[in-house]
Structure 1
Amino acid sequence: MARQRILAVLFFVSLFVIFFLPHADNDFGWHYRCGEKILQGRSICTGGDFLYFLSDYKWANPTFLYDAFIAAIFDHLGFLGISLFGALLFTLIMVPIYRSSRAGILITISLMYVAILLSSSVLYLGFRSQTLSLLFGVLTYSLLANRGSVRLKKIFWLIPLGIVWANSHGSFFLGPLMMAAYTIDQWLNYFRRRLSLRTALAVSAIFLTMLFATSLNPFGWRIYEEVYRHWHTPLNTLIAEWVPPSFWQEMMIIASAGVFAVYAAFKNRATFFELIILAMTVFFALHARRNLPFFYFYYLYLVLKNFHWDAPKRYLATVEYLSIAFLMLTLASYAPGKIKNTVSFSVDFSHYCADGYVKYPCRAAEFLEKFFSDRQTTLNIFNTYEWGGFLVWRLPTHRIFVDGRTPAWRGENGQSPYAYWLEILQTKKDWDKKLDFYRTDCLFIGAGTFLDVLLQERGDRFGYREIYRDRMAAVWMKY
């Protein structure tokens, strides 16, 4: 029907506007520098690139395709190009969910808006490497979600998808995990005499091939070691987005998953594979808030696929016309300001410095760059953790102490580099000796931090002099 097509177009336009977000990722700097190296035909980033602390550390982080892509977009289109591509990618992620729905269009778009709202604490961060895992997860499930038949030609596409995923983001392991659940489900169908042995063996062969395909990356099987190390590092004590969701979110996740599981058990409306994937998404969502979109989008997929809901036919046309009018008015009032803010953030560097979820010390970085512009020297800069990626990008001739790559690494005595950095910033025992051991030349830290306050009182005693200060940052030089 024409009005439903109009409603669908308006819905996806609204999604594009919603996801047209500033690229404020504080890891952009090192992603860009790593991608720049790839585009220039140099080596890939293997760990401690751009750092002087743990500079020889080897890190099997498979983000090469994302890094190269980000660098290519930024070099040609800047932050605006990244925001545009991110909006397009997020919108495309929603297409398979929309197309799978058996519910009416009004119910479908309403529930999709709800899922986006419940995931907004993560999605508002914009396009990041994690976004690719969300896309690949949706694609993987879409290729596997065929009840009643096994479509081997479709499943075969998981092999090249596994290769791309294993070179894009560390959550690549979700692909083999989902395929393993699907393979087990097919063997259960074989033992129930619902599937031929030949088909079950073919599915198993594709699973093993996909698993092997994930090793086709510069680090080989070491990327699985990094996954293991990541999950055994208490990142919830180090990084905000790794903390568990709020209590009400946890209760909502458990309750909604439980209701669907009970309903599916009584009505036989879900396969073993679907229930296992549901359990997986519940586990990951309860583990860290950054995984909320995985749960809400998958749960939305299950609900829309299993329930045929719609508005009462008597009022359907009226409600659809009202919905069209509402979306048009909302877009007319909301879209211009939203687009203007994202464009301003992308093209005006002052907005980039001041309006992101991390405020950047742009003036201090500019000062330090000019201060040493006529000297052929590379500084070892002890920096604020949240500014690491920014400084890697803005001060490319110097080396910093930590950035967003380091929390899951293993430093001295198995200690997280983030914890080691924090001990120095909080001026705990031997903080100055630790800086001297790593031959630190400069401190680029937040104004008013423990270390900054101590140096204001006794900087001469520790051999540091202040060369720059503003309301955000302080720069101290070792002499």
Structure 2
Amino acid sequence: MNHHKKMTKFPWWLRLYILPAWFMYGTAFALFFVCGLGIIDPDFGWHLASGRYYWAHGIPTHDIFTFSAQHFLWINHEWLSDMVLAAMYHLGGHVLVALLYAAIWTLAFWLVARRCRLSIIVLVGAIACLPFAGVRAITWTVLCAAVLYELFRASRRTHWLIPFLMLVWANLHGGFIIGLAYIAYRLIARPSWRLAVITAVSVFATTVTPYGAAIYVEIIRTLGDRSLYGRISEWQSLAFSIEVALLAAVWATCRYFYTRSVWRTAFAFPMFLIIGTVMSVRNVPILVIFAVADIAHMMVAVPLPWVRIRERLQAIRPLMIALALIVVSFGGYLLWRDFMLVRVAAESRYPREIAQSLQTGVCSHGNLYNDYNIGGYLIWRAPRQKVYIDGRMPSWQYGGVKIMDNYYRVVRDASFRQREFARFHIVCAAIPADTAFAKELRQSGWKPVIANSAEFTLLKASE
């Protein structure tokens, strides 16, 4: 009753920002669910195939899916999340998996924003995360980041749970590095022997994996590869959306008024994440969850002068109405758009006919050169045919040469292509249909097995 009375004090256009929690979290869950159901990530296939292999055979030491790097020491920092994915897919298929991941995304937002009355911030955060949402391994990092934030906000006794969280996190996803960075940030901000011990134990806990301390090898290799910023869309700089910029601006404004200090705002942890997001768009989900968490905390921690705020907002009432309607309407549009996507089979965006043909053994007498973006899908749907490259490999080096460099060189350099194809006995190519590369292969005598499958073609060398 008291809550209802407080709500009635706000004019209708302000209540748009404090819609019922069930509505906001329900909408966020629906957005995440239809996104996961309607879109299959390019890496979904190899994650699922990996999880199935682990359940049946245990953790391999070398690559098991490609012929170009079969002796490469494969360190999969997502092995545990892959096993969870495979188990859930076995129990209920893609629908159950989409439900699970949507629930995880929604739970992460609920954990950090459940006490905040500004419920619209949840919808803004969900919209900002949608391009990175769905059934993706980063989902586990988002959840673990939310749990870590809440452990620090809870009583000091809960801090001793942090090393256990880091142990689990390190086996779920390589994003645990963000968790260690946040722990170190808290230690530097407020040094104490107690937190120093927790930090040291947390670092040690991250080495309790099937790979031991070698779990850091793949992470360091990836983070140190500058070529990713020009080759992989999720590593691009200055590629974030207007929703992310808006959320970052709201956070910075709230932080400044909360601390009354430019320096304390500039050196807050989300500010480092903003810099990271400018450098690489893949950091968006982490920024969003920490920004939403910090905004929610500040609004709960400080009794806000609502009467004065309402008076000042009254002066920009048209802008506030327009902003709220845009956010809510955009959320509704995304929900409608994703539901329309669900009407089209998610797998139709991938070359199903090519996968089926490969599975029947059309290229069994040799190896397959494939487009990078469908490598993971072929690992899943055509397991009998090993691939040349997939989403795990943009930073892999073998024999002193980066496999990704060879992948691009095959397309550009005909003489190198001839040597590479002879070296690996490549007799088939699954590549985009309408490209100069496909035209060159056809002109040199390669015959189409499948002319067009989701805009890809399967070509075979003449025998």
> In structure 2, which of residues 33, 46, 49 is the aligned counterpart of residue 33 of structure 1?
49
Instruction: Give the C-alpha shift of residue 34 in structure 1.
Output: 0.8
Match of 2:108 in 1: 93
Give a deviation string over 1:354-389, Cα, whole Å, max 9, x none.
3xxxx21112222333354xx9x5742111111101
Distance of aligned partners of 1:409 and 1:456 in 2 relative to their CA distance in 1, 3 Å threshold: same
Instruction: Give the C-alpha shift of residue 230 in structure 1.
Output: 1.0
Paired with 2:161 and 2:329, the residues of 1 have a C-alpha distance of 39
Alignment of 1:331-342 (within 5 A): 341=340
User: Are the counterparts in 2 of residues 34 and 45 from structure 1 also a CA contact under 8 Å?
Assistant: no
Given the alignment of the two structures, is residue 383 of structure 1 paired with residue 373 of structure 2, yes or no?
Answer: no
Match of 1:245 in 2: 238
Distance of aligned partners of 1:449 and 1:306 in 2 relative to their CA distance in 1, 3 Å threshold: same
Give the SS at the match of 1:215: coil
Paired with 1:340 and 1:251, the residues of 2 have a C-alpha distance of 26
Paired with 2:180 and 2:309, the residues of 1 have a C-alpha distance of 47
Instruction: Give the C-alpha shift of residue 257 in structure 1.
Output: 6.3
Paired with 1:132 and 1:438, the residues of 2 have a C-alpha distance of 37
Instruction: Give the C-alpha shift of residue 62 in structure 1.
Output: 1.1
Instruction: Give the C-alpha shift of residue 334 in structure 1.
Output: 7.5
Paired with 2:50 and 2:186, the residues of 1 have a C-alpha distance of 36
Match of 1:444 in 2: 430
Instruction: Give the C-alpha shift of residue 268 in structure 1.
Output: 10
Give a deviation string over 1:91-121, Cα, whole Å, max 9, x none.
10111222343xxx2xx11222223333333
Match of 1:190 in 2: none
Given the alignment of the two structures, is residue 24 of structure 1 paired with residue 43 of structure 2, yes or no?
Answer: no
Given the alignment of the two structures, is residue 360 of structure 1 paired with residue 368 of structure 2, yes or no?
Answer: no
Paired with 2:202 and 2:309, the residues of 1 have a C-alpha distance of 50
Paired with 1:302 and 1:226, the residues of 2 have a C-alpha distance of 31
Instruction: Give the C-alpha shift of residue 18 in structure 1.
Output: 1.5
CA RMSD of aligned residues (A): 3.5
Paired with 2:198 and 2:346, the residues of 1 have a C-alpha distance of 46
User: Are the counterparts in 2 of residues 281 and 295 from structure 1 also a CA contact under 8 Å?
Assistant: yes
Paired with 1:362 and 1:25, the residues of 2 have a C-alpha distance of 15
User: Are the counterparts in 1 of residues 358 and 384 from structure 2 also a CA contact under 8 Å?
Assistant: no
Give a deviation string over 1:327-369, Cα, whole Å, max 9, x none.
xx989x8899678557655xxxxx1233xxxx21112222333
Paired with 1:379 and 1:389, the residues of 2 have a C-alpha distance of 19
Q: Which residues of structure 1 form unaligned runs of 5+? A: 188-199, 316-321, 346-350
- TM-score when scaled to structure 1? 0.79
Match of 2:290 in 1: 298
Match of 2:21 in 1: 8
Match of 2:449 in 1: 467
User: Are the counterparts in 2 of residues 427 and 450 from structure 1 also a CA contact under 8 Å?
Assistant: no
User: Are the counterparts in 1 of residues 239 and 278 from structure 2 also a CA contact under 8 Å?
Assistant: no
Distance of aligned partners of 1:310 and 1:65 in 2 relative to their CA distance in 1, 3 Å threshold: farther
Residue type of the alignment partner of 1:184: I
Given the alignment of the two structures, is residue 165 of structure 1 paired with residue 169 of structure 2, yes or no?
Answer: yes
Match of 2:189 in 1: 185
> In structure 2, which of residues 187, 190, 199 is the aligned counterpart of residue 207 of structure 1?
199
Residue type of the alignment partner of 2:346: Y
Match of 1:455 in 2: 441
User: Are the counterparts in 2 of residues 261 and 275 from structure 1 also a CA contact under 8 Å?
Assistant: no
> In structure 2, which of residues 146, 166, 174 is the aligned counterpart of residue 138 of structure 1?
146
Match of 2:137 in 1: 129
Instruction: Give the C-alpha shift of residue 224 in structure 1.
Output: 1.7
Distance of aligned partners of 1:45 and 1:282 in 2 relative to their CA distance in 1, 3 Å threshold: farther
User: Are the counterparts in 1 of residues 367 and 426 from structure 2 also a CA contact under 8 Å?
Assistant: yes
Between the aligned residues of both structures, percent identity stands at 21
Paired with 1:339 and 1:296, the residues of 2 have a C-alpha distance of 21
> In structure 2, which of residues 218, 229, 234 is the aligned counterpart of residue 236 of structure 1?
229
Give a deviation string over 1:159-180, Cα, whole Å, max 9, x none.
1111111111111112222111
Residue type of the alignment partner of 1:213: A
Instruction: Give the C-alpha shift of residue 248 in structure 1.
Output: 7.7
Distance of aligned partners of 1:411 and 1:210 in 2 relative to their CA distance in 1, 3 Å threshold: same
Aligned residues: 428
> In structure 1, which of residues 101, 108, 113 is the aligned counterpart of residue 123 of structure 2?
113
Distance of aligned partners of 1:255 and 1:336 in 2 relative to their CA distance in 1, 3 Å threshold: closer
Q: Which residues of structure 2 form unaligned runs of 5+? A: 8-17, 311-320
Q: Which moved more, 1:255-264 or 1:169-178?
A: 255-264
Given the alignment of the two structures, is residue 218 of structure 1 paired with residue 203 of structure 2, yes or no?
Answer: no
Given the alignment of the two structures, is residue 266 of structure 1 paired with residue 260 of structure 2, yes or no?
Answer: yes
User: Are the counterparts in 2 of residues 34 and 67 from structure 1 also a CA contact under 8 Å?
Assistant: yes
Q: Which moved more, 1:257-266 or 1:137-146?
A: 257-266
Paired with 2:335 and 2:434, the residues of 1 have a C-alpha distance of 39
Match of 2:381 in 1: 394
User: Are the counterparts in 1 of residues 19 and 120 from structure 2 also a CA contact under 8 Å?
Assistant: no
Q: Which moved more, 1:54-63 or 1:259-268?
A: 259-268
Paired with 1:170 and 1:336, the residues of 2 have a C-alpha distance of 30
User: Are the counterparts in 2 of residues 17 and 335 from structure 1 also a CA contact under 8 Å?
Assistant: no
Give the SS at the match of 1:218: coil
Paired with 2:99 and 2:337, the residues of 1 have a C-alpha distance of 13
Distance of aligned partners of 1:117 and 1:314 in 2 relative to their CA distance in 1, 3 Å threshold: closer
Residue type of the alignment partner of 1:95: W
- TM-score when scaled to structure 2? 0.82
Given the alignment of the two structures, is residue 53 of structure 1 paired with residue 68 of structure 2, yes or no?
Answer: yes
Match of 2:11 in 1: none
Instruction: Give the C-alpha shift of residue 414 in structure 1.
Output: 4.0
Residue type of the alignment partner of 2:448: E
Residue type of the alignment partner of 2:410: I
Paired with 1:414 and 1:79, the residues of 2 have a C-alpha distance of 37
Give the SS at the match of 2:207: coil
Instruction: Give the C-alpha shift of residue 52 in structure 1.
Output: 0.4
User: Are the counterparts in 2 of residues 257 and 282 from structure 1 also a CA contact under 8 Å?
Assistant: no
User: Are the counterparts in 1 of residues 366 and 425 from structure 2 also a CA contact under 8 Å?
Assistant: no
Instruction: Give the C-alpha shift of residue 57 in structure 1.
Output: 0.9
Paired with 1:458 and 1:201, the residues of 2 have a C-alpha distance of 69
